[in-house]
A and B are shown apart, each in its own frame.
Chain A
C-alpha cells in the first residue's frame, strides 16, 4: 500500500497545479464578482499556494532528512531493549534521544508510528526489561516511562482526527474539482469553496509538519 502520509499532499498538489494563476485570472475576468471579492479571492489563492509550498518543502525535508534518522534511532532502540544489564547505561542515555526523535514523527507516517507502537509498551514497564534485571530501576527523571506512551497516543489521535474530520469532509470535493479542472469545466464559485477547504487541510498539514508561517 502506498504510504498514506503522502496521499493528501499529492492530491492537494494536483489541485494546485491544475488551478494555476493564469486559470485564476482567466476565471476572474469573466466572473461577476465585485472588485473587493476578487481581491479577497486572489489573496486566499496566494495564501494557499504559499502555505502549500512550505508544506511540500517540510514534507520533502521530513522524507529526506528527518525520517531516516528517526528510523535508525527507533530500530536501534528496539534491539537495545532486548539486551541485558551490560546495556543498562546505554539504554537510559538513548532514551532521551528516542523521545526527541519520536516527537518528530509525522503523524501520518505509518512505518514510524508502527515502530513507536512496539517501543512504548516496553518502556512503560522497566522492571520487565532484561537491562534492569537484578539492578536498580531508573528514576522518573532519567526514565519518564509515560512520555513515549503520551507521544504515541497524541500522534495516533491526531492522525485519526485528520482522517475523521478535515480529510473526510473535503477530499471528495477536491478530487472532483481536480477532475473538473482537467476537463476544462471551471466554475469559479465551486473552486472558491474548494480553495477554502484546501487552505484548511494545508493548515492542518502545516501543523503536522511544524511549518511556521
Chain B
C-alpha cells in the first residue's frame, strides 16, 4: 500500500513539474524572443537615423548652395561650395559613426537574448529533436558519473528532468545577471531616445525643405509653367501629396519608434517580473 502511495505521489509530482515546466519554458522563450526583437528594432532604427540624417543634410546643402551662389562669384563661390559640402560630409560621417556604435550595442545585447532563446526553446517538452536527445544523454552521463549508477528512467521522465534542470539554470542565469541587464537596458533606452529625437528633428527639416525648395517655388514659377513636362507635373503632385499627407517613410518611422519604445517597456516589465520571483 505504502509502495503504491509512493508511486502515485511520484507520478503526480512529475506531472505537476511537467505542466508547470511547459508554461515556464514558454515564458523564457517569449522573454528571450521579446528581448531579441526589441534590441533588433533599435539596431534597425540606428540605420534609419543615418539614412534620414543624410537626406536632411542634402536638403540643407541645396539651401546653402542657393544662398552662397547669390553672395559669391567665380573662384570664391567654388571654394565656398566645396567647403560647405566638406563640412556637411564630415558632420554626417560623425553621426553615422555614432549610429554604428548604437547598432553594435543593440546587436551585442540581441546576441545574448538569441542565445538565451535558443537554450530555452531547445528544452521545451514538445521539442523531442536531436538537440534534446543530446542534452538528455549529456545529463544522463553527468548523473551516471556522479552517482556511479546508470539511469533507468523512461524517456518522458528524462525530458521532465532536463526541463526542470534547464529552467532552474535559466532562472539562475537571469537572476544573476538581472542588474547587468537592467543597466544595459538603461543604456539602450538612453541611446534610443537620442536616435528617435534625431529622426524626428531631421524628418521635420525634410518636410519644411520639400515645401521651401520644391513645392512652393515650382508652383510660384508662373513663367515656366507651360514648359513643364508631364513627368515634372506628376512629380510635383507627388511631392505635394507627401507634404500634406506625410510621407509613407515618415509615418513608418513614427510607428517604428512608438513600437520600439512600447516593446522596450513591456520587455522590461516582463523581465523584472520573471526575475523577482
Contact B102 A160, beta carbon cutoff 8 Å: yes
Using a CB-CB cutoff of 8 Å, which residues 172-191 of chain B contact chain A?
Answer: 179-180, 183-184, 186-187, 189-191
For the complex, give the distance between the alpha carbons of A175 and B177 in Å: 12
Inter-chain CB contacts under 8 Å: number: 96
Say yes or no: is A152 at the interface (Cβ < 8 Å to chain B): yes
A168 to B180, CA, bound (A): 11
Minimum CB distance partner of B197 in chain A: A117
Judged by DSSP, the binding face of B is helix
CA distance A205 to B200 in the complex (A): 26
Interfacial residues, chain A to chain B (CB-CB below 8 A): 1, 4, 7, 108, 110, 113-114, 117-118, 120-122, 124-125, 127-128, 140, 146, 149, 152-153, 156-157, 159-165, 167-168, 171-172, 175-176, 179
Confirm or deny: B234 has a beta carbon within 8 angstroms of a beta carbon on chain A: no
Asked if residues A175 and B183 are in contact (CB atoms below 8 Å), the reply is yes
Q: Are A168 and B209 in contact (CB under 8 A)?
A: no
Taking the closest CB of chain B, its distance from the CB of A205, in whole angstroms, is 14
List of A residues within 8 angstroms of B190 by Cβ = 4, 7, 108, 159, 162-163, 167
**Cβ of A171: which chain B residues have Cβ within 8 Å of it?**
183, 186-187
Query: In chain A, what residue has the closest Cβ to B98?
Result: A160
Apart from A118-B201, A146-B64, A149-B60: 17 A-B pairs, beta carbons within 8 A: A1-B189, A4-B186, A120-B205, A121-B205, A124-B205, A127-B216, A128-B208, A128-B211, A146-B60, A152-B201, A160-B98, A162-B190, A163-B194, A164-B98, A164-B191, A167-B190, A172-B183
Let me know if A160 and B101 touch, CB within 8 A: yes
A153 touches B200 (CB 8 A): no
Q: Are B105 and A164 in contact (CB under 8 A)?
A: yes
**Chain B residues engaging chain A, CB cutoff 8 angstroms:** 60, 63-64, 67, 91, 94-95, 98-99, 101-102, 105, 179-180, 183-184, 186-187, 189-191, 193-195, 197-198, 200-202, 204-205, 207-209, 211-212, 216
Are A161 and B208 in contact (CB-based, < 8 A)? no
24 chain-A/chain-B pairs, Cβ below 8 angstroms: A4-B193, A7-B190, A117-B197, A117-B204, A121-B204, A121-B208, A124-B63, A124-B208, A125-B208, A127-B216, A128-B212, A156-B198, A157-B95, A157-B98, A159-B190, A160-B101, A160-B194, A161-B98, A164-B105, A167-B187, A168-B105, A171-B187, A172-B184, A179-B179
Complex CA gap A128/B210 in Å reads 11
* Contact between B60 and A176, CB atoms less than 8 A apart: no
Contact B201 A121 (CB under 8 A): yes
